[in-house]
Amino acid sequence: MEARQSTGKYWFLCFMWLAIMIALLIFYRQWFWLALPGTCTYFAKAMNIM
């Protein structure tokens, strides 16, 4: 049986990247895709998918 890991850090990073992505969508639409890898990666880590 695996020990359960705390995912709070990953949720924080996921929401931080989400805020960055939203800011980029508002101010620099052509650059929002730069925040997609961070958002998706930390969402997957927070959900224990990765």
25-39 pLDDT, tens digit per residue, is: 999 999 999 999 999
Asked whether residue 1 is assigned to any structural domain, the reply reads no
Q: Total structural domains in the chain?
A: 1
Q: Mean of the per-residue pLDDT values for the chain?
A: 93
Percent of the chain exceeding pLDDT 90 equals: 84
The answer to whether 24 touches 32, Cβ cutoff 8 Å, is: yes
- Measured at the CA of 20, the angle between CA 25 and CA 18, to 5 degrees, comes to 95
Residue-number span of the structural domain to which 27 is assigned: 8-46
The whole-model pTM stands at: 0.83
What was the pLDDT predicted at 50?
A: 83
Asked whether residue 14 is assigned to any structural domain, the reply reads yes
CA–CA dist 7, 13 (Å, integer): 10
Asked whether residue 25 is assigned to any structural domain, the reply reads yes
What was the pLDDT predicted at 41?
A: 96
11 pLDDT band, cuts 50/70/90, is very high
| Tokens 């959900």, located at residue | 47
CA–CA dist 10, 29 (Å, integer): 25
